[in-house]
Structure 1
């Protein structure tokens, strides 16, 4: 049985898109409406971090791993995928070359290798074939709220149940941060439930720094309650987009925000609100 409304990005890494809400932008708005505006509407450029580039590289390696025949999906073959994946990343995003100095490249690639090695401690990729990798999923809720996201991997069990897997190259969250991770998992579960008519059997976050796994088994009633939260977020974003009112929300997360120079909470001034704004949510994940 095929999985409807799930596609794989084309050769340029793009998938068909329409204005919709993604888990990352939903979390941005929940955390700080101004951050959402500067990122999704003003599209203020953000410098890539070393950790983000490493995460992109590891995701590319694991995607390529499942392009190999099952018997070849071992650590030695995975190690051979690191350099080609890095070269493809440089071709797609040449600016990353400025982030990793030439004398640091060996150590950087070794970090990626260590994360891939931890992946092999969490599961044996020779025993199954994924239904899809880097899948683009989208759905429209009954009230018209459009949702979308990219999922690292979707597996189907022998009895037909769907398992959704997302790789994380950081550490597993503590209790204070677990809510954010569960929000992402519930978001994916909701999209798939509305697409397929039934919730996936399991969603799993695999944390490759410390080898931890966070698993969530969706419940339909819980997802319907979560759906109301997501719909309310979309409505709030719609209203803010119409009024231009995206207030800052100060929290401990501000210390990690690149937009502090533009934030009134820190003496900054946001750019003038665009006279022509995109549909809420924009097409930016």
Structure 2
């Protein structure tokens, strides 16, 4: 069976047509969730339990959006002051689309955002943009795509779906996958998780284009560090099998409802301890396998 692929969302077919029903797919974030803790996957993909984003997560989403807009400008205008000018209007757009994010800055017991808090938060975003400009000069780059939606069905039937921050293609055809991380460069566990995400994208692009990406590049903006990795085709073949095994394990758990918790140091950052048996909690009644699609990835998933 051959691979089938898309690189954009399906077009709108009109208001009278039935909405297109997408097949369930695996995203890098949800695959990573299942590897970390099957019950966390269930809480996020099946139960869809709400999670309150942190200011750092929302700031990451903001910086990603600013960098996307920056590369839409003519090359000569891609300067640090111009990027900072984009912060406030971009935040206005994002907060209008997700007004609940403004509650992160509300005065206790009041419901209105504290201007000093928002101003200081935007200043912290400016520092991340400064770190980005220390790492590279966007005037010298012409990315093929930013925030690229990719989707492919492998020959095994596993459907992969995700968003890539940036794809650079050299005149010689070599591909570089770039991901912005607004946190600090991670230690061993975090680095493995980040590389898992990048290898996921590498598999998708390899199957879409028939070319193994030359470089996977992670840019950590809190401490101004970058991590570059060169994958090999044999490695991506093995990784593809890993993704297929993860998806089969998810399907088995989905049929039975048996999503088991896996306790680790990462539990300290989990929003769902109140529902987790490892912490004396009780999960909600299992609602069954979700329809139409448990594999979507949000902007907050990708914000880091």
Which consecutive unaligned segments of at least 5 residues does structure 1 have? 11-15
- The structure 1 residue matched to 2:74, chosen from 46, 69, 73, is 69
Per-residue deviation at 1:38? 0.7
Residue 185 in 1 paired to residue 221 in 2? no
- The structure 2 residue matched to 1:90, chosen from 95, 112, 118, is 95
Deviations 1:54-92 (A, max 9, x none): 000100110110111100100111111011111011111
Count matched residues: 277
User: Secondary structure at the residue paired with 2:290?
Assistant: coil
Residue 211 in 1 paired to residue 212 in 2? no
Greater shift after overlay, 67-76 or 97-106?
97-106
Provide the TM-score with structure 1 as the length reference.
0.93
Contact (CA 8 Å) 2:151, 2:159: kept in 1 or not? Answer: yes
Residue 143 in 1 paired to residue 120 in 2? no
Residue 44 in 1 paired to residue 44 in 2? no
Provide the TM-score with structure 2 as the length reference.
0.87
Distance in 2 (CA, whole Å) between partners of 1:84 and 1:276 is 40
Residue 167 in 1 paired to residue 180 in 2? yes
Distance in 1 (CA, whole Å) between partners of 2:238 and 2:289 is 34
Contact (CA 8 Å) 1:8, 1:132: kept in 2 or not? Answer: no
Question: In structure 1, what is the equivalent of residue 27 of structure 2?
Answer: 22
Residue 202 in 1 paired to residue 215 in 2? yes
Residue 31 in 1 paired to residue 32 in 2? no
Greater RCO (Cα-Cα under 8 Å, separation 6 or more): 2
Greater shift after overlay, 188-197 or 94-103?
94-103
Which consecutive unaligned segments of at least 5 residues does structure 2 have? 12-20, 106-113, 299-304
Over aligned residues, Cα RMSD in angstroms?
Answer: 1.8
Contact (CA 8 Å) 2:161, 2:295: kept in 1 or not? Answer: no
Contact (CA 8 Å) 1:8, 1:133: kept in 2 or not? Answer: no
Greater shift after overlay, 33-42 or 98-107?
98-107
Residue 156 in 1 paired to residue 161 in 2? no
Distance in 1 (CA, whole Å) between partners of 2:297 and 2:63 is 22
Contact (CA 8 Å) 2:29, 2:297: kept in 1 or not? Answer: no
Residue 99 in 1 paired to residue 100 in 2? no
Distance in 1 (CA, whole Å) between partners of 2:254 and 2:83 is 45
Distance in 2 (CA, whole Å) between partners of 1:281 and 1:215 is 31
User: Secondary structure at the residue paired with 2:188?
Assistant: coil
Question: In structure 2, what is the equivalent of residue 270 of structure 1?
Answer: 283
The change in CA–CA distance for 1:165 and 1:275 in structure 2 (over 3 A counts) is closer
Deviations 1:134-178 (A, max 9, x none): 000111122111101100111111212111111000011123322
The change in CA–CA distance for 1:276 and 1:115 in structure 2 (over 3 A counts) is closer
Greater shift after overlay, 155-164 or 263-272?
155-164
The change in CA–CA distance for 1:8 and 1:159 in structure 2 (over 3 A counts) is farther
